[in-house]
Amino acid sequence: MQSFVASEVKMNRTEIDELANKFGGRFKLTVLIQKRLRELTKGAQKLVDVDTRNLIQIVVEEIKQGKIAIEGYLGSEEEKKGKKE
């Protein structure tokens, strides 16, 4: 089992707030992170190429790059514009 304590995820408050706003709040962001962590611990393939084995860092990078999202939630402005057309 991999330890998450060994290497911390370094994010400033602004980055966290931006991600939280993108997904409708901190609670939804936390749920997204938890679900993806569960998938990765069960053997799912990571969606980004990063030089870390820390699963939280992988998930955060996947979110930043727009590789994962909450199903049915349009988080980005581009997705909202595309939906209107």
DSSP H helical segments within 1-85, as ranges? 13-22, 26-41, 55-64, 77-84
Instruction: Given CATH 3.90.940, say whether it is the number of domain 13-84.
Output: yes
Which pTM was predicted?
Answer: 0.68
How does pLDDT run across 1-27, given as a tens digit for each residue? 454 444 555 677 888 888 888 888 999
Q: Domain extents for the chain?
A: 13-84
How does pLDDT run across 46-61, given as a tens digit for each residue? 999 999 999 999 999 9
HSE-CB at 33 with a 13 A cutoff on CA atoms is 19
Look at the block and give the residue holding tokens 């799912």: 44
How does pLDDT run across 63-72, given as a tens digit for each residue? 989 898 877 5
